[in-house]
Structure 1
Amino acid sequence: MARILVIDDDDTVRLSVRLALEDADHLVEDAGDGEKGVALFRENPADLVVTDIFMPEKEGLETIDEIKRLRPETKIVAISGGGRMDPDDYLTIAKSVGADRSLLKPFDIDNLVEVVDALLNE
Structure 2
Amino acid sequence: MNEETKVKQKTVMVIDDDEAILRMIARMLAESDYHCLTYSDAQAALDDLGHRAVHLVITDIIMPGMEGIEVILNLRAMLPDLPIIAISGGGRSNRDDVLHLAHQLGASRILAKPFTRGELLGAIDAQIAASRPAGT
The reply to whether TM is greater than 0.5 is yes
State whether structure 2 residue 90 is matched by structure 1 residue 75.
no
Point out the more displaced range, 109-118 or 72-81.
Answer: 109-118
State whether structure 2 residue 82 is matched by structure 1 residue 64.
no
Q: Output the amino acid matched with 2:109.
A: R
**Structure 2 stretches lacking a partner, 5+ long:** 1-8, 131-136
Equivalent residue number for residue 61 of structure 2: 53
**Structure 1 stretches lacking a partner, 5+ long:** none
Equivalent residue number for residue 13 of structure 1: 21
Q: CA shift at 1:33, angstroms?
A: 2.2
Counterpart pick for 2:96 among 85, 88, 91: 88
| 1:115 partner SS | helix
Identity among equivalent pairs (%)? 34
Larger gyration radius, structure 1 or structure 2: 2
Q: Output the amino acid matched with 1:46.
A: V
Number of positions where the alignment pairs a residue of Structure 1 with one of Structure 2? 122
TM-score, normalization by structure 2: 0.84
Point out the more displaced range, 39-48 or 111-120.
Answer: 39-48
The list of structure 1 runs, each at least 4 consecutive aligned residues, that deviate by more than 6 angstroms after superposition, is none
Equivalent residue number for residue 104 of structure 1: 112
Q: Output the amino acid matched with 2:54.
A: A
In the alignment, the residues of structure 2 paired with residue 52 and residue 72 of structure 1 have an alpha-carbon distance, to the nearest angstrom, of 19
In the alignment, the residues of structure 2 paired with residue 48 and residue 23 of structure 1 have an alpha-carbon distance, to the nearest angstrom, of 17
Equivalent residue number for residue 11 of structure 2: 3
Q: Output the amino acid matched with 2:65.
A: E
Q: CA shift at 1:42, angstroms?
A: 2.4
